[in-house]
A and B are shown apart, each in its own frame.
Chain A
Amino acid sequence: MSKLAVSVGSVRLKNPVLVASGCFGVGREYGELFDLSLLGGIVTKTVTREPRAGNPAPRLWETPSGMLNSIGLANPGIEVFIEKEIPFLNDVGCAVVVSIAGKVFEDFEELVRRLDPIECIDAIEINVSCPNVKEGGLAFGTSPETVESLVATLRPLTAKPLWVKLTPDATDIALIGRSAVNGGADALCAINTLTGMEIDVGRRVPRIGNIFAGLSGPAIRPVALAKVFTLHSALPDIPIVGIGGISEAGDAIAHMLAGASAVQVGSGIFRSPHLPLEVIRGIAEYCEFFDFAGARDITGALIIEG
């Protein structure tokens, strides 16, 4: 087994670096820039039961060391996704995690049923943390009861690992994480974007068409690390996938030291398309330099003195 190989529950990854949902499509565009099979895995843009056009423009605004986005889960729907994107994902040569979202439980159930028989899918990421949709996003992800009952509803429908992507907007992320695990989640992904807003004071209008948007980028890294550490401390046996503000290898290593078994690189890719590969290389060098037998040994290796 390669030094870089890690496991997230039963999902084996050739290295701990995945690309985060919404930042990479299914990989077609960035696949023109580098070999996707070098990645630990791809988490697809969230797919929903019906096609979604997405939110009104403007959808983006840059903020200090970060960005706001309110895309609104624009996607062609599960039917087209299976027909057009699955054949592509079948050949990417890395782990494939399909992100799903819905307005009601039945949407999630239908999505899991449709994805369950597809062999190339290694795990399903349940997105209950999108700040840019009215129903099913934060409304689900901030309620421990809803998260537990949603995951419990989906659990019997597939043998594939269920990852639950958590919002940093919840008052107590460990409570939500524990609820997901009680429902049958195999891993927790943290964090999704933080709800944010910007205002054009001259025109007295919000910068984003949908008013609210999700904050990502280096600005949120400290928040993400705190959430990963909180989850790992509360649920030491549950694999965590660390997401948030990864812009260089050291950021990914920080996530792993805080307790993440793997990481997802998100909007940092927009600045540096080759970032996932740089992070993979950096993790290998870190293991070498600090005598870690393998990347998996970095997980939770944070030293807390006193």
Chain B
Amino acid sequence: MPVDVVGKVTEKRLVARDTIRIAIDAPEVAKDARPGQFVMICNTVPTFDPFLRRPFAITGAEWGRIELIIRVVGWGSALLANLSEGGEVRILGPLGNGFPDPKGGVILAAGGIGIAPLLFASRRWPSAELLYGEPSLDWVCDLSREKFCHFELSTDDGSAGEKCNVVKLLRKRLAASPLPVFACGPEPMLEAVAKACKRAKVDCFVSLEEHMACGVGACQGCAVLTKDGYKRVCKDGPVFDARKIEWGKR
């Protein structure tokens, strides 16, 4: 069950260009959180501009703390990235369905800030392998504190890891041994991941991103078109079986 609480920011560090990682003390939110779920957060100051909360995938939920990776993409995320240690945020969660429990090994495919929920997955399921792509080295999140059983990095310009995109890494990996895939990233990447998984005949679950108002399933604002009609990204997702998504259709 989600709760809405005020939590203190206990840790904050810059992990990549325009990207911070924060820990928020929120035991009630952390206790039942699972990888793929998200929270809606806003400042505690009584101002209404920006009006809506911002959804963020949960990157960690240990020791009563919710960890988030926030990449500045606009005004709302910029304000939240300006929070300092000791500051407070309103945090509503955990929300959404999360990834299913993998029965054995699983490949995590992260594009850009899509790394956020997949780090949580890699901690929860230590046999998971992580493939991570960014445009260039400056965008690559500092993952020096993480442990992976297998990790591959790609950048579009070759400034770190292999010079390709993460979908290419995935295709190579699937050719070696087919495993189910959990993916998060921009929509064109997810569509390509879904295609690669279909070809390799493996299950694929994608975590979608959409503008949200309520985050709990009440407003129906974050609709995504699926083979079963419109679904709410916040409540029916954000994790969907990739085969169900009507890619590129609104």
Contacts and interface: CB of A to CB of B under 8 A. Distances in A.
Interface of A: 22-25, 28-30, 32-33, 45, 53-54, 56-67, 69, 71, 74, 209, 217-219, 247-248, 267, 269-274
A270 B211 contact: no
B42 to A, nearest CB: 6
Given A29-B235, A217-B48, 16 more contacts: A32-B2, A33-B4, A57-B222, A59-B221, A60-B211, A60-B221, A65-B51, A66-B51, A71-B220, A71-B221, A218-B49, A219-B51, A270-B52, A270-B215, A271-B51, A271-B53
Interface residues on B, range: 35 or more
A140 B223 CA distance: 27
B83 interface: no
Interface stretch (B100-108, B172-180, B224-232): B224-232
Contacts of B220: 45, 54, 59, 71, 74
Contact of B51 (A25, A56, A218): A218
Max chain A Cβ within 10 angstroms of own Cβ: one of B3, B46, B50, B222: B50
Given A67-B213, A273-B216, A57 B49 contact: no
B245 to A, nearest CB: 12
B223 A59 contact: yes
Contact of B214 (A74, A270, A274): A270
A151 B205 CA distance: 49
Contact of A25 (B52, B210, B217, B222): B217
A270 B224 contact: no
A62 B4 contact: no
Contacts of A219: 51
B250 A60 contact: no
B49 A64 contact: yes
Contact of A74 (B46, B49, B223, B235): B223
Contacts of B1: 32
B92 interface: yes
Closest 3 CB pairs of A and B: A60-B221, A29-B216, A56-B250
Nearest to B235: A29
B111 to A, nearest CB: 20
B50 A270 contact: no
Contacts of B53: 270-271
A57 B210 contact: yes
B2 A60 contact: no
22 contacts: A25-B217, A29-B235, A30-B216, A33-B2, A45-B220, A53-B229, A53-B230, A54-B220, A54-B230, A56-B250, A57-B225, A57-B230, A57-B250, A58-B210, A58-B250, A66-B51, A67-B52, A74-B223, A267-B51, A270-B52, A270-B214, A271-B51
B191 to A, nearest CB: 15
B229 to A, nearest CB: 6
A67 B219 CA distance: 12
A29 B214 CA distance: 10
Contacts of B213: 60, 67, 69, 267, 270
Q: Is the interface of B mostly helix, strand, loop or mixed?
A: loop
B23 interface: no
A59 B215 CA distance: 14
Given A29-B218, A33-B3, A69-B213, A62 B250 contact: no
B35 to A, nearest CB: 21
B212 interface: yes
Contacts of A53: 229-230
Contacts of A57: 210, 222-225, 230, 250
A62 B50 contact: yes
B192 to A, nearest CB: 20
A84 to B, nearest CB: 15
Contact of B48 (A30, A54, A65, A273): A65
Interface string B1-19: 1111000000000000000
Max chain A Cβ within 10 angstroms of own Cβ: one of B3, B48, B230: B48
Given A33-B2, A69-B213, A62 B51 contact: yes
A60 B54 CA distance: 13
A271 B212 CA distance: 11
B223 A62 contact: no
B49 A271 contact: no
Interface in B29-52: 42, 46, 48-52
Nearest to A75: B220
B211 A62 contact: yes
Contacts of A45: 220
Nearest to A248: B46
